[in-house]
Amino acid sequence: MDVFNMEGVSFRHHDNLPFVLKDVDLSIPENGRTAVLGANGAGKTTLFYSLTGVYKPSKGEVLYRGKPVEYTKEGLTELRSEVAVVLQNPDEQMFSSTVEEDVAFGPMNIGVPRDEVGERIDRALRDVRMSDYRWSPLQQLSGGQRKRVAIAGALAVRPKVMIMDEPTAGLDPQSSMEVMELAERLHLEGVTVIISTHDVDLAYTWADGVRVLRHGHMIYGGDSEGFYEDIDNVLLSGLLRPSTFSMNREISSISGVDESPYPKTVSEYLAKFGGGNGVTGRIFCIPYSGGPVGDRYAEAVREAGDGARIGLYGTESRYAATDESEKIDFYFDGIDSCLSEAVLGRDSVLIYDSVYEPMVREKAGRLSVFGADIDMQVIG
């Protein structure tokens, strides 16, 4: 089932102005990871405003779960109780003076009981590493910090659909990785996640499918490879091919192998092109769901042996491992880093929030498509 559909949607701000969206047909699958791509001015933000009912189409219709969006107070309140949006400029959606008040705004506005609001604030601020700023005035925060507060406010609503407009813009590399971890967690919890981004490498690695806007027209919808195969279309859309996609084309041509299957991560690229000569290492996994990790960490390190590298994935495990001062080699992107170690024939230890268990298994299983069967052993 699609969570959103657009049927012939056009939009302009005034009758005398040109259309920003032009006859857009769009479908967004439920519980999918969809990236909306396009150059500046292509219409991505206007598309998001149209999905959330901020803009009413000049022509055409927007449907949410098969029903037309109702542009009444009641209809829009119901829509926004299930659909959260994080805008590219966080100042456009901040309505309070302190961090706590701003994160509380969304859940209180949809009627969440006051005692539960506090719990939601705690979790959301922890997820974006802003707990220490709970009582801070918003005007004293940097742009990147305000972006993280805006994401926390959206998380506190606990939406069924999360829309993020350029979610990593203005963030440092570590914060950007944490935001995408959150996007993965939401997806695993059954939330439909839609992002816009200029980062084609991020979109290629993360998204199940892409939708591409050019000058207000929806010119492509489908899997990433189908779009990037057409270089003229890519360049006319103001984009470039992802680096992994380009490298796969070049090395496949040189090696005389098929471009398919298409590697999207470092570990898949190494597996396809023989990084470990077919001999794989083991990954000792520690799913984390609370409490100390010391005993399981020590057992995993003993099993993996001296020199084994340690990776983390997820906010909770990162906090726990840091608090216990364990030796960590990969604080971010630990899943792919440990899979790369395995492809290269080396053992490693991976500590991750338990919610990511299906993702860890899926990524390891996908490596078999590229000829690498990974031995994963769960500790505890």
Burial letters 150-183, b for 16+ CB under 10 A, else e: bbbbbbbbbbbbbbbbbbbbbbeeebbbbbbbbb
Burial (Cβ within 10 Å: 0-12, 13-18, ≥19) of residue 339: buried
CA angle 35, 165, 103 (to 5 degrees): 130
Q: Is a pLDDT exceeding 80 seen at residue 277?
A: no
Closest CA to 124 of 105, 144, 143: 105
**Tens digit of each residue's pLDDT (9 = 90 or more) over 64-98:** 999 999 999 999 989 988 999 998 888 888 878 89
Q: Is a pLDDT exceeding 70 seen at residue 275?
A: no
The C-alpha atoms of residue 250 and residue 15 are separated, in whole angstroms, by 49
Burial letters 213-244, b for 16+ CB under 10 A, else e: bbbbbbbbbeebbebbeeeebbeebbbebbeb
**Tens digit of each residue's pLDDT (9 = 90 or more) over 41-70:** 999 999 999 999 999 999 999 999 999 999
**Tens digit of each residue's pLDDT (9 = 90 or more) over 224-271:** 999 999 999 999 999 999 999 999 999 999 999 999 999 999 999 999
What DSSP character marks residue 229? T
The two three-digit tokens of residue 39, written as one number: 């150059």
pLDDT at 325: 59
**Tens digit of each residue's pLDDT (9 = 90 or more) over 283-307:** 999 999 888 887 888 899 899 988 8
The C-alpha atoms of residue 196 and residue 51 are separated, in whole angstroms, by 13
Mean pLDDT of the chain: 92
The C-alpha atoms of residue 234 and residue 298 are separated, in whole angstroms, by 49
The two three-digit tokens of residue 194, written as one number: 């839609």
pTM of the model: 0.92
CA angle 281, 291, 185 (to 5 degrees): 65
For 368, other C-beta atoms within 10 Å of its C-beta total 11
**Tens digit of each residue's pLDDT (9 = 90 or more) over 175-207:** 888 889 989 999 999 999 999 998 999 999 999
Q: What are phi and psi of 370, to 5 degrees?
A: -100, 10
**Tens digit of each residue's pLDDT (9 = 90 or more) over 11-34:** 999 999 999 999 999 999 999 999
Spell out the SS3 assignment of 45-105: HHHHHHHCCCCCCCEEEEEECCEECCCCHHHHHHHHHHEEEECCCHHHHCCCCEHHHHHHH
Classified as helix, coil or strand, 109 is helix
Q: Which domains does the chain have, with CATH numbers?
A: 2-236 (3.40.50.300), 271-378 (3.40.1010.10)
Classified as helix, coil or strand, 288 is strand
pLDDT at 100: 94
pLDDT at 298: 87
Q: What are phi and psi of 11, to 5 degrees?
A: -145, 140
Classified as helix, coil or strand, 152 is helix
What are the angstrom distances between the C-alpha of 379 and each of 235, 330, 357?
48, 19, 13
pLDDT at 326: 66
Is the Cβ–Cβ distance between 80 and 161 less than 8 Å? no
What are the angstrom distances between the C-alpha of 152 and each of 110, 135, 350?
16, 14, 27
The DSSP line for 307-357 is T-EEEEESHHHHHHHHHTT---SBSSSHHHHHHHHHHTT--EEEEEEGGGH
For 13, other C-beta atoms within 10 Å of its C-beta total 12
The C-alpha atoms of residue 117 and residue 105 are separated, in whole angstroms, by 9
Is the Cβ–Cβ distance between 46 and 21 less than 8 Å? yes
Classified as helix, coil or strand, 5 is strand
